[in-house]
């Protein structure tokens, strides 16, 4: 026993001495550390990652001397894995987080799990971060912490200010039946042609197991790109409208159109409509067969489309190149079309589309990290020089990609794309100022992207920057979360007597304490409006 203890002591002393000498030996090059990064990814291993990282280390070794160990996981369990790693004390230096992860970015910040990056960025020691995470991008992505202070706790990774809502459709079929999709009527004419001529093909498939479609249908039907009076929106499942007095009113009705107080504050064009327009249209789509009969169980709508069992599906325009590539593999003889549902982009009208200017993906440093300075140093290195950024995002120039001008790239000839470097930039490198598109991107898509990346194209949503703090009402929030999916049957036109169903759902919400949530939301939002008044956008 004593011998073991002696041996342990000797080992400990030796390692302490070595560590001390190591530090003293080279003041410039710090001791090497491995930084643990955790992120979601569609692939469990990135092709050629080691070769790219070797290039990175060539440059970073003299000053940073870090090794990066990336652990990739799936999108649905990233939040849980991150919090488990933190609670069990596993080393974790950089973690992917977003408003849609569980726990969300706001929840992590309120529990003090993430490092405040403002102090680093403002210190002047990290010019790369200071240059690219500043101004609106910084302000719109800052989060309020438990002390009520708002700071940048996570680096926002984004390429655009919206995803660009769109419907992808079988252009070959539209051409076959002589339909050119440009508005609501031509879209439904396309659906009719499919129903009539293509048995076994659903006109439109979407993620009915979690999403609702009535809002999109109503927007398509209205088709006008309004540029002002965007005074109503949904925040954490509560419908809010801002009245002429500049104060927010949160609808007491789960289906807000049924609340006269809410209705009276809506813009005139809405008040001229039938309050139940969107539900009626959804029911019409369902009855006519535009929507799938079993849509409430639909989990793989894109698979339906790619297998030729659906003629169209909704997806953001920002994934166009990726979708085209998969479509070409799945259906080599067919043609893919894209129809913008985001009206501002479709009509090319400024300030008709809203954005909260928040990214959809973030990366943050856990407070439990032992290497905070080194991690910030590495992040700074990425943004210090666009070449560093491109190396991590696209791989080794000449081997994995070729630069085409300043803002585009292409692939070297004869390259096997399935084996090429395939790192997903949204977990580390995306930034609106550092985007490169593939040189083959069609002109009409490039035009759409241009708008999506132009902050002046969008109006700022009145709820941008607002976070609903639910700590005091979390029991009611949990009970209401449980009821959310009941609305889906009505919003997707599945229920024949939708008005009767709306009354039933309202009663269930009220029994679960909905009004407590609504009143708290209204209070918090009005407080928010004092600092961020509504300006008529």
Partner 1 sequence: MRAKAFAPALGQGSPASTFRARPGFLHEMALRPSLYLMVLPGVLFFLIFNYLPMVGLAIAFVDYSPIAPFFGLGSRFVGFENFRFFFTSNEWSRITLNTFYLNALFISTGLITQMLLAVGLNEMRVQGVKRVSQTLMFLPNFISWTVVSVFSIALFSTNEGLINKFIMAFGGKSVNFYQTSSVWPGLLVALRLWKGAGFGTVIYLSTIAGISHEIYEAATIDGASRMGRIRYVTLPLLKTTTAILLIMSIGGIFNGDFGMIYALIGDNPMLRSTTDVIDTYVYRALRLNNDYGMSAAVGLFQSIMGFVFVVGANAIAKRLDSESALF
Selected from 59, 104, 150, 506, the binder of partner 1 by CB under 8 A is 104
CA distance 516 to 536: 28
Task: Specify which residues 340 forms β-bridges with.
Answer: 166
Judge whether 94 and 37 are in contact, CB under 8 Å: yes
**465: DSSP letter:** T
Q: How far is the CB of 371 from partner 1 (least distance, A)?
A: 17
| Residue ranges in 404-423 that form contacts with partner 1 under rule CB under 8 A | none
Q: How far is the CB of 87 from partner 1 (least distance, A)?
A: 3
Selected from 319, 508, 532, 537, the binder of partner 1 by CB under 8 A is 508
CA distance 517 to 3: 65
Closer CB to partner 1, 72 or 468, in the complex: 468
Selected from 182, 228, 293, 472, the binder of partner 1 by CB under 8 A is 293
Tell me if 485 contacts partner 1 by CB under 8 A: yes
Tell me if 372 contacts partner 1 by CB under 8 A: no
Task: Say how many residues touch partner 1, by CB under 8 A.
Answer: 43
Closer CB to partner 1, 385 or 482, in the complex: 482
Give the C-alpha distances (Å, rounded to integers) separating 411 from 86, 346, 503, 521.
39, 30, 57, 50
Q: How far is the CB of 174 from partner 1 (least distance, A)?
A: 22
Structure tokens at 164: 């660009």
Tell me if 209 contacts partner 1 by CB under 8 A: yes
Selected from 294, 440, 454, 527, the binder of partner 1 by CB under 8 A is 294
Selected from 124, 148, 178, 200, the binder of partner 1 by CB under 8 A is 200
Tell me if 482 contacts partner 1 by CB under 8 A: yes
Q: Which stretch binds partner 1 (CB under 8 A): 21-29, 67-75, 477-485, 515-523?
A: 477-485
Give the C-alpha distances (Å, rounded to integers) separating 415 from 229, 402, 421.
51, 12, 11
Name the residue among 429, 395, 371 with its Cα closest to residue 129: 429
Closer CB to partner 1, 31 or 484, in the complex: 484
Build a one-symbol-per-residue string for 349-368: x at contacts with partner 1 by CB under 8 A, - elsewhere: ------------------xx
Burial 450-487 (b: 16+ CB within 10 A, else e): ebbbeeebbbbbbbbbbbbebeebeebbebbeebeeeb
Judge whether 529 and 242 are in contact, CB under 8 Å: yes
Beta strands in 127-206 (DSSP E): 143-144, 150-151, 155-157, 165-170
The SS3 call for residue 209 is coil
Selected from 2, 268, 474, 530, the binder of partner 1 by CB under 8 A is 474
**204: DSSP letter:** B
Closer CB to partner 1, 32 or 475, in the complex: 475
Tell me if 107 contacts partner 1 by CB under 8 A: yes
CB atoms within 10 A of CB 169: 26
Q: How far is the CB of 369 from partner 1 (least distance, A)?
A: 11
Closer CB to partner 1, 334 or 489, in the complex: 489
CA distance 336 to 22: 60
Task: Specify which residues 312 forms β-bridges with.
Answer: 169
Q: How far is the CB of 103 from partner 1 (least distance, A)?
A: 4
Tell me if 69 contacts partner 1 by CB under 8 A: no
Structure tokens at 85: 């790693």
In which order are the strands placed within the sheet that holds 402-404?
A: 402-404, 408-410, 437-438
Task: Specify which residues 437 forms β-bridges with.
Answer: 408
Closer CB to partner 1, 396 or 486, in the complex: 486
Instruction: Give the footprint of partner 1 on this chain (CB under 8 A).
Output: 79-80, 83-84, 86-88, 102-104, 107, 111-113, 200, 209-210, 292-294, 296-297, 299, 367-368, 470, 474-475, 477-479, 481-482, 484-489, 494, 508, 511-512
């Amino acid at each position: 026993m004593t011998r073991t203890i002696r041996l342990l002591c000797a080992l400990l002393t030796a390692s302490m001495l070595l560590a001390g000498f190591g530090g003293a030996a080279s003041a410039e090059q710090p001791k090497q550390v491995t930084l643990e990064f955790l992120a979601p990814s569609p692939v469990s291993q990135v092709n050629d990652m080691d070769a790219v990282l070797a290039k990175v280390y060539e440059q970073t070794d003299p000053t940073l001397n870090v090794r990066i160990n990336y652990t990739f996981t799936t999108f649905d369990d990233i939040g849980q894995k991150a919090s488990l790693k933190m609670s069990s004390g596993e080393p974790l230096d950089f973690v992917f987080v977003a408003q849609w992860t569980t726990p969300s970015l706001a929840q992590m910040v309120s529990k003090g799990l993430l490092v405040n990056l403002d102090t680093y960025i403002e210190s002047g020691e990290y010019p790369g971060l200071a240059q690219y995470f500043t101004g609106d991008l910084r302000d719109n992505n800052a989060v309020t912490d438990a002390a009520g202070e708002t700071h940048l706790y996570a680096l926002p990774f984004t390429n655009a200010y919206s995803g660009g809502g769109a419907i992808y459709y079988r252009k070959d079929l539209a051409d076959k039946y002589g339909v050119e999709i440009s508005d609501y009527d031509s879209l439904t004419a396309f659906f009719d042609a499919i129903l009539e001529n293509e048995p076994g093909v659903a006109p439109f498939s979407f993620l009915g197991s979690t999403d609702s479609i009535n809002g999109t249908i109503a927007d398509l039907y209205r088709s006008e790109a309004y540029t002002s009076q965007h005074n109503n929106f949904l925040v954490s499942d509560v419908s809010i409208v801002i009245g002429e007095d500049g104060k927010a009113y949160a609808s007491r009705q789960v289906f807000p159109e049924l609340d006269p107080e809410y209705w009276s504050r809506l813009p005139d064009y809405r008040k001229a409509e039938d309050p139940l327009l969107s539900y009626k249209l959804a029911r019409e789509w369902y009855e006519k067969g535009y929507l799938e009969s079993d849509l409430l169980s639909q989990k793989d709508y894109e698979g339906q489309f790619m297998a030729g069992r659906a003629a169209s599906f909704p997806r953001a325009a920002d994934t166009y190149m990726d979708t085209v590539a998969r479509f070409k593999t799945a259906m080599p003889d067919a043609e893919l079309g894209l129809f913008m549902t985001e009206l501002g982009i479709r009509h090319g009208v400024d300030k008709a589309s809203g954005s909260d200017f928040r990214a959809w993906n973030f990366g943050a440093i856990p407070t439990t990290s032992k290497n905070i300075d080194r991690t910030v140093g590495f992040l700074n290195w990425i943004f210090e020089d666009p070449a560093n950024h491109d190396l991590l995002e696209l791989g080794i120039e000449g081997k994995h990609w070729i630069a085409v001008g300043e803002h585009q790239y292409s692939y070297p000839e004869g390259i096997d794309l399935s084996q090429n470097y395939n790192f997903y930039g949204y977990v580390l490198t995306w930034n609106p100022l550092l985007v490169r598109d593939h040189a083959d991107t069609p002109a009409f898509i490039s035009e759409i992207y241009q708008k999506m990346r132009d902050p002046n194209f969008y109006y700022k949503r009145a709820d941008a920057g607002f976070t609903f703090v639910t700590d005091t009402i979390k029991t009611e929030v949990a009970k209401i979360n449980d009821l959310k999916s009941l609305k889906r049957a009505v919003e997707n036109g599945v229920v024949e007597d939708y008005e009767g169903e709306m009354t039933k759902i309202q009663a269930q919400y009220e029994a679960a304490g909905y009004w407590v949530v609504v009143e708290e939301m209204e209070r918090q939002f009005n407080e928010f409006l004092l600092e961020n008044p509504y300006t008529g956008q």
